[in-house]
Amino acid sequence: MTVEIINKVAQSGIVTIDPEEYFPEGEIVALDIKEWLFHGLILKEADFRQKLEEHNWEIYSGKIVCLICTADAIVPLWAYMLFVTRLKPFAKEIFYGNEEAYISQYYKDILSKIQPEEYAGKRVVIKGCGEKQVPAFAYVELTNLLMPYAKSIMFGEPCSTVPVYKAPKTT
């Protein structure tokens, strides 16, 4: 006797969105301006410009560079601008802020391109618990975008989900 195996998840009409698929590609590195300051606190313009000249900027080729300053120092805005002029020929992208802020901003930009109307009346699972550290922002933004359209929103895997939202029934 042959038993037919039926994939109920595939037949359910559930649409899965995997936020990991949107994760930025490329190595993300932090460039701490503190290392360029005199005693890690003071920007001495002549020394600063000299260090800029001597630095090997090619090490940032193809990388996403996050400009940060971990010191409690006053860094003039033009100093950040000078870093950009040196990084631009090599870096894939240049961002002011730490890696977490970069990834959140990246998700904000990429998710703004989603057409939420495409999910009208659909049951949506927003996949979680992957290998990459997707920021909470992405899950909040996806829920925000989809709520006006989706029939329901769930978190997890199609075979094991946590209900998040169910559209009210219309009469």
Please indicate, yes or no, whether residues 66 and 113 belong to a single structural domain of this protein.
no
pLDDT of residue 8: 46
Last residue of a domain, one of 91, 113, 141: 91
Q: What is the mean pLDDT of the chain?
A: 90
In a domain, 1, yes or no: no
> 37 and 18 in one domain?
no
DSSP readout, 39-89? TTTB--HHHHHHHHHHS-GGGGTT-EEEEE--SS----HHHHHHHHHHHTT
Is the pLDDT assigned to residue 56 strictly greater than 90? Answer: yes
Is 127 inside a domain boundary?
Answer: yes
| Reported confidence tier of residue 159, pLDDT bands at 50, 70, 90 | confident
pLDDT at 12: 58
Q: Is the pLDDT of residue 9 over 60?
A: no
CA–CA gap between residue 40 and residue 57 (Å, rounded): 20
**Domain interval for residue 74:** 28-91
pTM of structure: 0.81
